[in-house]
Structure formats: structure tokens, C-alpha cells
Amino acid sequence: MRDQLANALKDALKAKDTIRLSTVRLIQAAIKDRDIAHRTAGKDAVSDDEIMQILAKMIKQREESAKIYDENARAELAAQERAEIEVIKAFMPTQLSDDEVRQACSQAIADTGAQGLRDMGKTISALKERYAGQMDFGKASGIVKDLLK
């Protein structure tokens, strides 16, 4: 994943693509911050799964910012946030559709033997292991909650 980001940075520099360049630099800075936090805690460097979590968080932050910009009539800033989202999504695996998320949730419930809402955490953990970066776990938790009722 780190090599992919380094190559994307080089390509953006060569192409003089300022949005892609700045976004890749932001991604690398976020990863470096997490690496530093891990080092101070005595852990290894950030894994690819954790990088996917960082990217998902960055997308969510930009979606929230774009929404706020739209509400305050700042269309140019909202467009910039959405452009950054597209760059970040290029590094993520393809997202599962709503039907696929529902099916994955049902399968995780069956695999973990979840019986009720008290088993929700166990089910979400299983989903995070299998589908890191491929689904919105906020939506998935809502689906799991509905299925476990």
C-alpha cells in the first residue's frame, strides 16, 4: 500500500495534478502520524488494514465537510472536498453494494452464532476482519442491529 501511494505521488508530480498531489500527501501524513503514535506505544508500523481504516476515516471527514460547505453556499470548497474523496477512493478496494452488505451481515451473524443484540460487537468485529475498507461499518451496524432484533 505504501509503495502504491509513493508511486501515485510520483505520477501526480510528473502530471502536475495539484489536487491528486496534495491529497496523496495528506494521506501519507496521516499514515506517518499513526506510525509515530504506534512507535511511541511500542507497536510495529501501520498495517495495510489500518491504512484502509485511515482512508475510510478521511473519506468520511471530507463528506461531512462537503455537506457543511454546501449548507453554507460554498460550492467551490465542497467541490474540492469531493475531488479529494475521489482521489482517496482510488486507493480503496471496491465498496460492497447494499445487498452485498446485508448478505455479509447475515453471513457474519450465522458464522459467529449471534443470538441477540448483546452479540452485536462480536458480529461487527468479524465483519471488520473480513471486509476492512469495503463497507461503511456505520450502515453495517444498523443492518446487524435490525437482523438481531
Domains of the chain, each with CATH number or no CATH:
2-89 (1.10.1510.10), 98-148 (1.10.10.410)
Look up residue 6 and give its three cell numbers: 509513493
pLDDT of 33 = 93
Locate 22 and state its grid cell. Answer: 496534495
The answer for residues whose C-beta is within 8 angstroms of residue 143's C-beta and 6 or more apart is 101, 102, 105
Per the model's pLDDT, the better-predicted residue between 7 and 132 turns out to be 7
Q: Is the pLDDT at 133 greater than 80, yes or no?
A: no
Say how far apart CA 68 and CA 62 lie, in whole Å.
10
Query: Average pLDDT of 55-77?
Result: 94
Residue 135 φ/ψ, nearest 5 degrees: -150, 160
Q: What is the pLDDT of residue 69?
A: 96
Distances (CA, A) of 39 to 1, 6, 35: 19, 21, 6
Task: Report pTM.
Answer: 0.73
List, for residues 67-99, the tens digit of each pLDDT value.
999 999 999 999 999 999 999 999 988 888 888
Phi, psi of 111 (to 5 degrees): -65, -35
Question: Which pLDDT score, from 0 to 100, does residue 86 have?
Answer: 94
pLDDT band at 147 (very low <50, low <70, confident <90, very high): confident
pLDDT at 128: 86
Q: With left for phi above 0 and alpha for psi between -120 and 50, is residue 113 left, alpha or beta? A: left
Would the pLDDT of 40 be above 80?
yes
Instruction: Look at the block and give the residue holding cell 471488520.
Output: 128
> C-alpha cell of 78?
465542497
